[in-house]
Structures are given as structure tokens and as C-alpha cells.
Amino acid sequence: MANAPVNNPILALSNEHRFILEQMAGIEAVLREPDPGAMAAHLTSIESAFMPFLIRHFRFEEELLFPAALEALPVGPTIKVVLQLTREHGDLERWARDLFAWARATEATDAQAETARRQEIKAFSDLIRSHSHREVTELFPKISSNPRCCQMIETALARGGGSL
């Protein structure tokens, strides 16, 4: 379970990525719904579990993890990946809100609009998967192998600066 306590914040974040990817499987299942109404209903059923978790996860990374990485590892590659990941957080959050808003408000749509919505869902899924992969393979190993960065995160967590 994604909310189980884990002593290592990087491991906890990796576990959260696993949960997000599991949720993405549910979103991708929407694409197998032949009827746009069923597709919208399926998306709506996922929203209440997915959105709050995703937003909390992004905020933790942006408020604790990314600043610690930038301070402890202030080099070009780290700066570049943190800026890219932060931008993607905004893109993904807006995209998810738009998809769920569409699902709540959907009415009968024409085939062209349905095709476009399915393409958006697929593109959203692809971006969140590549985003998660980049965090887990590019940024997290740098953070977890840097004692100063780990200490900064642990100190912030101990002060109540964020929670996993």
C-alpha cells in the first residue's frame, strides 16, 4: 500500500510511484470502454482516489525533495531534470483536472471528439509513465547516494516539513 510507513523517504516515494502507475492502469482501462459514456463514468470513478494522492505526491517532491536536490547537488544535470520534472508536474496536474472535468460533464460526443479524448488519455498516461521513470532512474539515485541531500530531507521531515 502506498501509505504504509517507510523509513527511507526515497523508497517511500518509489512506492508511491508504484501506486500511481497502478492507478494509471485503471485510467488506461478507460481506453477499452467502447462507449464514451462508460469511458467517462470509469474516469469519474477513479478521480477521488487519484487526484488528491497525485497532488500530495507532487507537492512533497516540489517542497522538499527537489529543493534538497538542488541545494545538495547544484550541477547542470540536476538542475535540468528538476526543472523538467517540476514543469511536468504542472502539465500533468492540469491535464488530469481537464480529463476528470470532461468526464464529469460529458454528454454524447461525436466520433471525432471521442477519438481526440482517447488520444489525450493515452498521451497523459505515456507522460506520467515517462515522468515517473525519469524520477526513479535519474533523480532518486542521485538523491539517495548523496548523504547531505538525504540528511536535508530527513531533517525537513522531522520538522514536519512534509509527509509521505
Q: One digit per residue, pLDDT tens: the chain, 164 residues?
A: 344 444 577 767 777 888 888 888 888 888 888 888 888 888 888 888 889 989 999 998 999 999 999 999 999 999 999 999 999 999 999 999 998 888 888 665 666 777 888 899 999 999 999 999 999 899 989 998 999 998 888 888 888 765 55
What pLDDT does 68 receive? 92
Q: What does the block give as the cell for 45?
A: 470513478
Query: Which of 107, 31, 20 has its CA nearest to residue 58?
Result: 20
Give the pTM. Answer: 0.83
Q: What does the block give as the cell for 127?
A: 507522460
What pLDDT does 78 receive? 93
Rounded CA-CA distance 103/35 in Å is 12
Residue ranges covered by each domain of the chain:
9-158
CATH architecture of 9-158: Up-down Bundle (1.20)
Contacts of 15 (CB under 8 A, 6+ apart): 2, 4, 6
